[in-house]
Amino acid sequence: MNKYLLSLLALPCFAFANFNFSKDLSFETFDAEEFKKTLSKEVFSNKGWPEKLNYNDREYAVDYTINEDLTNYVVKQMRRYRSDYTSVVVLDNNTGAILTAVDFQRKGNVVGKSMAFSSAHPAASVFKVITAADLLDNTDVHKGTKFSYNGKSTTLYKYQLKDKKNRWTRAIPFEKAFAWSNNVVFGKAAINNTNFKSIFSTASKFGFNEELLQILESGTSKLFPVESKYNLAELASGFNRKTMISPLHGALIASVIANEGVLKKPHVVESVRDEKMEREVWAPSYILSRSLSKEAALELKEMMNLTVKRGTARGAFRPWKTKKIRDIEIGGKTGTITGGVPHGKRDWFVSYAKPKGDENDAGISVCVMIVNVEKWYIKSTYLAKKIIQHYYDSLKE
């Protein structure tokens, strides 16, 4: 008899007391990619988050990262203000876990989550974060670089992109152009300092044209195609309806800045467990990649701070309105544009919020997208402020 078999037989019986042959010697593999398709279908065909899933004649238990208390608060605010459509995503910047991903539709008071993961929404000026990252990281442009422009800052005509100066010409530093969402400056800055290839490369590092989630299918963000210098200006400023993102991606963009240039791949599934075998068959990976240098990220973080303090988001974050979160550092970027599915005027605010002075806590990122069909009900910046305030109030409690 084989000597190895003899030695196995010689082992005392208690050596196998805690050994389950049916489980621990099972050679059945778990196909995560195939399971992903089934899970995605179930998740997006149900209002809630399915906790049990039958796949290949086996039952699996699925745990999610969703924070029920935070989500309930968000839904309560959505029902209170009743915008035509609202979508909110809250991301834990430290782990990449999605704490909230929820939608609300005024007609029928419908609560869901499909819009949060759908890339059918024009990015508008949110894309200025990508352009700024490209310019700060790959060119000589810095936050204090002066740019001149003519006409309204909210328009983008071809004559405005020319370098002609007259007595009406104004000059502002790049950081103020970002904070005030100046389309003309961003268009000129792109034409004179970068190109589509460079912006495309930076956008890819921020998750464009990539699957954002682990083990769950979501929409893929797409860039506006560039065929001319004017198209490049449209892309760089966000002044187009063809650069599409999801609210999830909006939160992720802010998260990259909060993490000083590092992208942490987000996840909403915490674990998948085989019920019959009583074992975990899948858990999220901690996937990191660098989107831009730390130096450029810190400079961009200051520009996002300025947007909240003195820029387009200042109305919701005035000091007397934020006494409860005075110890929280907040940065963000607004955006407005008409278009997308569902059709309407989109009001974006992508932001991060982290405790001041704590280098080990990157805080959370909040993306609020409101779609107004006929009239306004609440600003995205105001709703984001309430969510941030509730989150940090809950931590204190």
Mean pLDDT, rounded, of the chain: 92
Distance between CA atoms of residues 349 and 323, nearest Å:
21
Take residue 239 and report the two structure tokens written for it: 């002044």
* Domains of the chain, first to last: 66-266+290-396 (3.40.710.10)
Q: Is the pLDDT of residue 8 over 80?
A: no
Q: Are 117 and 101 in contact (CB under 8 A)?
A: yes
Alpha-helical runs (H) found in 166-293: 174-179, 183-193, 196-205, 229-237, 247-258
Cα angle value 172/175/179 (rounded, 5°): 100
Distance between CA atoms of residues 192 and 372, nearest Å:
36
Nearest to 245 by CA among 89, 380, 361: 89
Please write the tens of the pLDDT for every residue from 81-131. Answer: 999 999 999 999 999 999 999 999 999 999 999 999 999 999 999 999 999
Please tell me the pTM assigned to this model: 0.91
- Would you call 326 exposed, middle or buried from its count of C-beta atoms within 10 A (0-12, 13-18, 19+)? exposed
Per-residue confidence at 397, pLDDT binned at 50, 70, 90?
A: low
Cis before 342? omega within 30: yes
Nearest to 353 by CA among 266, 255, 263, 268: 255
Q: DSSP of 362-395, one letter per residue?
A: --EEEEEEEEESSS----HHHHHHHHHHHHHHHH
pLDDT at residue 260 in the model: 97
Q: Are 49 and 64 in contact (CB under 8 A)?
A: yes
Distance between CA atoms of residues 366 and 250, nearest Å:
8
Per-residue confidence at 357, pLDDT binned at 50, 70, 90?
A: confident
Q: Is the pLDDT of residue 25 over 50?
A: no
Cα→Cα distances 24→16, 35, 47, 72, 167, Å: 11, 22, 36, 40, 80
Per-residue confidence at 16, pLDDT binned at 50, 70, 90?
A: very low
Please write the tens of the pLDDT for every residue from 316-350. Answer: 999 888 888 999 999 999 999 999 999 999 999 99
